[in-house]
Amino acid sequence: MEVIKITPRGYCYGVVDAITMAKRLATDPNVPRPIVVLGQIVHNQHVVTQLSQMGIQTLDGGSRRDLLNEVPPGATVVFTAHGVAPAVKAEARRRGFRTYDATCPDVTRTHELIREKVSQGYFILYVGTPGHPEPEGAMGEAPPDRIALIGQLTDVQSMAVPLGMPVAVMTQTTLSQWDTEEIIRAIVDRLPDAEIFNEICLATQSRQEAAVKAAADADLVVVVGDRRSNNSNRLVEVVEKIAGKPAIRVESADDLDLAQFEGIDRVAVTAGSSTPTAITRAVIARLDQLNTHQP
């Protein structure tokens, strides 16, 4: 069995910067303790565990606003790479926490764009994954009556846009570019004058394009990534939907079910942009081993 290593794969610059910031805080004795991250700094449990071993606590499982209520007095609060709503930042300041912001610059750009378009009188349609922290943060940049979330194609039919108001459409950074195109086409069918700002980041696009291209020559694609990683889940989706090839997501080499590789001649491996390189290397090494054990 041949193992194709897809490039680019794995860490993007936004993830590297966020993790670097957290690790720097962990080693700085002048930063007030405890150091608490509001949500997973990036969506990968291996990273969260490593930070925890360095003394950084992760609060998880609710909205950023709810998580803030769990932060003890005097703590340092870190905002994650996914961005956070201005109201959460203001509340953290009001409570006297020292704060650090690990928001990816690509996400910050979308926040700025939302603010700009709202100030110009636009209504915003934000295409994103319901329940994910990135839409939660971005949508907090607009008053609730000036923004709506489009989570899927069927939402376009039911969306309510105020009459006579110009519309700007923006997207989450880690969506499937093909699904997003379909949603945007449907929006433009209904609202031909809508201004479109496709905010899918370059890291997401390049990893998706490379995965689809490599899948053409493979029997199976393995995506290494956390179950909560939006961009990892989208990699599985684009391989299946666009390349028409089977794909599986694993969180580590331990998740590999070797029975799935029987009869496979070529397997291609990629990784979400929040997946540590060492974890992907271990998956590739396990598959290479399998290679040497097959006749």
**Which residues contact ligand SF4 (rule: CB under 6 A)?**
12-15, 81, 104, 106-107, 173-174, 201, 203-204, 231, 273
Residue with tokens 């943060």: 137
Give the residues across from 282 on adjacent strands. none
As measured in angstroms, the least distance from the Cβ of 124 to ligand SF4 is: 18
- Its sign, for the CA torsion 111, 116, 117, 121, is positive
Find the catalytic residue in 91, 112, 116, 134.
134
Q: Which is nearer to ligand SF4, 114 or 267 (CB)?
A: 114
3-state secondary structure of 265: coil
Note if 195 is an active site residue. no
Of the candidates 155, 158, 179, 183, the one whose C-alpha atom is nearest the C-alpha of residue 169 is: 183
As measured in angstroms, the least distance from the Cβ of 159 to ligand SF4 is: 25
As measured in angstroms, the least distance from the Cβ of 207 to ligand SF4 is: 8
Contact 202, 220 (CB under 8 A): no
- Its sign, for the CA torsion 208, 210, 211, 212, is positive
Distance CA(46)–CA(104), nearest Å, equals: 20
3-state secondary structure of 235: helix
Q: Which is nearer to ligand SF4, 1 or 103 (CB)?
A: 103
The side-by-side arrangement of strands in the sheet containing 35-38 is 56-59, 35-38, 76-79, 98-101
Give the residues across from 103 on adjacent strands. none
Q: Which is nearer to ligand SF4, 171 or 174 (CB)?
A: 174
Contacts of 9 (CB under 8 A, 6+ apart): 207, 210, 269, 270, 271, 280
As measured in angstroms, the least distance from the Cβ of 51 to ligand SF4 is: 16
Q: Which is nearer to ligand SF4, 71 or 203 (CB)?
A: 203
Q: Report residue 284 as tokens.
A: 């590739």
Element (H, E) at 85: none
Q: Which is nearer to ligand SF4, 231 or 270 (CB)?
A: 231
Active-site positions read: 134
